[in-house]
Amino acid sequence: MARCSHSERLIPLLYDGALDNALRYEVAFQVADCPVCTRRMNVIERIQEVLCQTLEEEVARLDFSDFWTSVERRLAAPPHSVWSRVSSRLRLWRLQWQPIFSWNGPVWATATALLIFVAVILTRPPVPRRAGSVPPENPPVMLALNNQAQIASLSATSAVFVWNEPTSNATVIWVDGGPGGELP
């Protein structure tokens, strides 16, 4: 069987009206001049004809007499179950948010980055004061319940007294450089 490159690729497109003007005219002339292309075009038209006829016959066989009665019966039926209502709402919600779900990668990544950036800014600790600077006002001091220190080692070149201050049990290390040492 003779073959033509036009008949393989372009004639189905010509039949579907998918070619632009210049190419459509060129292919139409080709179909008129080339017997292979003419035959191909005829085959396509015949297939389409048979397909339409088959569909019409199938549709004609369908019985629509009970259609509206069924619709009325469904409308009069009791309310749907909870699950069906939830699933309907979920479907609606999904349709409503479809534009956001369809964001592409860079948009999601940028949005995530912005969220992380804002979270970091909000959770960062305050900038520490410069050494030696006196704060404008005293922040509330939080003291431990028991301030007693556990001393692992202690050495000194002069007399040292160690005791616990009675109010908060804070440990006091008293270093006295004077002769003999002196307690307050």
Partner 1 sequence: MKRCYWIFPPPVIIGLLLLASSAGADDMINLRVETVLATDTSHEFDSRLTGMRSQLLAFRYSAYRLVQEERRKVGFGKQANFSLPGGRFLQVVPKEYANGKIALHVMLMEGTSPSPLMSTLLSIPNRGMLFVGGQKHQGGTLIIRIGASTDAFPAAIIPTEE
Site residues, partner 1 (CB under 8 A): 104-106, 109-110, 112-114, 116-117, 119-121, 123-125, 128-129, 131-132, 134-135, 138, 140-147, 149-158, 160-161, 165-168, 170-178, 184
Least separation in angstroms between CB 121 and partner 1? 8
Least separation in angstroms between CB 9 and partner 1? 24
Residue with Cβ nearer partner 1 (47 or 173): 173
The SS3 call for residue 161 is strand
| Overall residue count recorded for the chain in this entry | 184
Least separation in angstroms between CB 168 and partner 1? 6
Residues 114 and 107: their CA atoms lie apart, in Å, by 11
Contact predicate 134/112, CB 8 Å: no
Long-range contacts of 141-145 (CB under 8 A, 24+ apart): 143/168, 144/168
Give me the amino acid identity at 69.
Answer: T
Least separation in angstroms between CB 99 and partner 1? 17
Residue with Cβ nearer partner 1 (99 or 139): 139
